[in-house]
Amino acid sequence: MNELLVTPRLVSSPVWKDLPVEVTDALVIGSGVAGLRAAIAAAEWGRVMVLAKDRLAETNSQYAQGGVAAALAEDDSYEKHAEDTLAAGQGMADPDAVRFLVTEGARRVKELVEWGGNFDCEGNRLLLTQEGGHSHRRIVHAGGDATGREIQSVLLRRAHAMPSIRLRENAFVLDLVGHDGRVCGALVHRDDGKACVIWARAVILASGGAGQVYRETTNPSVATADGEALAFRAGAVLRDMEFVQFHPTTFYVAGAARKLVSEAVRGEGAYLRDARGERFMPSYHARAELAPRDVVSRSILAQMRKTGTTHVFLDLTHLDPEAMRRRFPGLADLCREYHIDITREGVPVHPSAHYMIGGVRVDKFGRSNLKGLYACGEVASSGVHGANRLGSNSLLECLVYGASAGESAFECDEPPSAGQVLGSMPGDATAGPMATTPEIEDARQSLRSLMWRAVGIERDGDGLRAAERQILHWSSYLLPYCFAVTRGVELQNMLTTARLIVRSAIVRQETRGVHFRRDFPNRDDEHFRRSLVLWRDSEGRLKSAIESPGGHPDRDVSR
């Protein structure tokens, strides 16, 4: 088995001198909340181009049913919000990053209201709800369970109104372009089927998450870990990739797409019951249904094993039926489509991969270790989530760190000339040594099933090592291949990111937050209250190290 797999610098093989070059000041990859907020901030100082892989609205943000957390109530405070966030992070969240998040958060939410955001209110005041892990009612919602869609709509309207922002749909980024530790743009597959280079002073990566790496996920089909793989191939440092958050409650009906059922449903008083009708969460945690997400997910898994079933039920029948229909119209409509009445019967749910906590390591200004490359939102590791993201902090992170990345990108120096850099980029490579075209869909589904089985809610060393061997085998012949279709490139990105998740999960020999090891069931602060960082060296080898609290690798754990 090739344990020393070389990851190619590029998935493409262009003749660089023949490619058209477009120029902008800031290139934003991703059109979700983080990308749009970054673009709006960057547009204050220069020209901005925003690239959407699919439609502008087809993002993880669009499907975010949960709210956005901010200390807005009179009995709440920044300090209390920070305490809850740090507690959820289980010793891994960066206090300075968390402080920046919560102190800037209220301002960013109020800003959305000023820009026309239509949030749920009681009279003239924002309606604040409570979710698991939060000690106070501080969650702002829109349309009951359509908060992400509303925030994205607000930001899209503002971006469309700014003449310095150009929005482009169906633009798939193949590779980041750069040389000698500097990123200067991206190679893009346009909607006309042709490739071009977009040259930029700053590239802001806001491409979202990696949920499609798993068979069961709340994420849309576009969430194929592209940003993580792009950054890794370019030489960026990634951090905390073992921390993948699984949402406890995903709508689980045969023949239905997996849909997130917001944590706010439990926050409003819904119970979890097993197939026998028994409410089981009080026997697992003192906070019952409002326990942290990792606890609820594992508890559901354990209860399914006990009852020999594939799902449990979310019970709203004891709550005011009209209030529940008004509060959660999206859930009511979804259940009605499958002949389920939420006021009379339980909603079948099951845990699914939901949020990538790890990602490109950045500071509070969104800066990566590569000059000219910034990252924000789910693709980034800002340090605010630690080992377990507190619910409704993700949209807040997108707003706060998106704005910060867009503002700070102005500080980046002008890049070298396109001719100088493109002349040094590798190109004209030949496809991998394969006689036939790989079957993309079979490989994708095999990878997703493997990740769900071996690198899911519960993990162990034997399963992780077997998964790593299989991924290395697939990667050995699929990564060098030059695919002519984006589905193939997505597969390569998924394989690359899956490898980083598995390697990190193998190294972290403890249980902490969303990372649960059956063979190491206890938390080990002495050895593992630190982050694991990974990067691609100049020869294409995967390097990894335990990072000291000061942010510097102090113990090499590369294979």
Assess contact for 274 and 282: CB atoms under 8 A: no
Give the C-alpha distances (Å, rounded to integers) separating 334 from 257, 348, 528.
10, 12, 42
C-alpha of 519 from chain center:
27
Half-sphere exposure of 530 (CA within 13 A, CB side): 18
Distance, in Å, from the CA atom of 350 to the CA atom of 300, rounded to the nearest integer, reads 8
Give the burial string for 157-189 (b: 16+ CB within 10 Å, else e). ebbeeeebbbbbebbbbbbbbbeeebbbbbbbb
C-alpha of 1 from chain center:
31
Distance, in Å, from the CA atom of 398 to the CA atom of 374, rounded to the nearest integer, reads 13
293 is catalytic: yes
Assess contact for 159 and 36: CB atoms under 8 A: yes
Distance, in Å, from the CA atom of 388 to the CA atom of 16, rounded to the nearest integer, reads 42
Question: How many C-beta neighbours within 10 Å does residue 151 have?
Answer: 29
Nearest residue to 68 (alpha-carbon basis) of 303, 341, 307, 262: 262
Nearest residue to 280 (alpha-carbon basis) of 352, 349, 339, 354: 349
Nearest residue to 173 (alpha-carbon basis) of 187, 183, 184: 187
Q: Which one of 293, 361, 444, 503 is the catalytic residue?
A: 293
**Residue 489: φ, ψ to 5°:** -65, -40
- Span between the terminal Cα atoms of the chain, in Å: 13
Distance, in Å, from the CA atom of 26 to the CA atom of 4, rounded to the nearest integer, reads 36
The residues annotated as belonging to the active site are 293
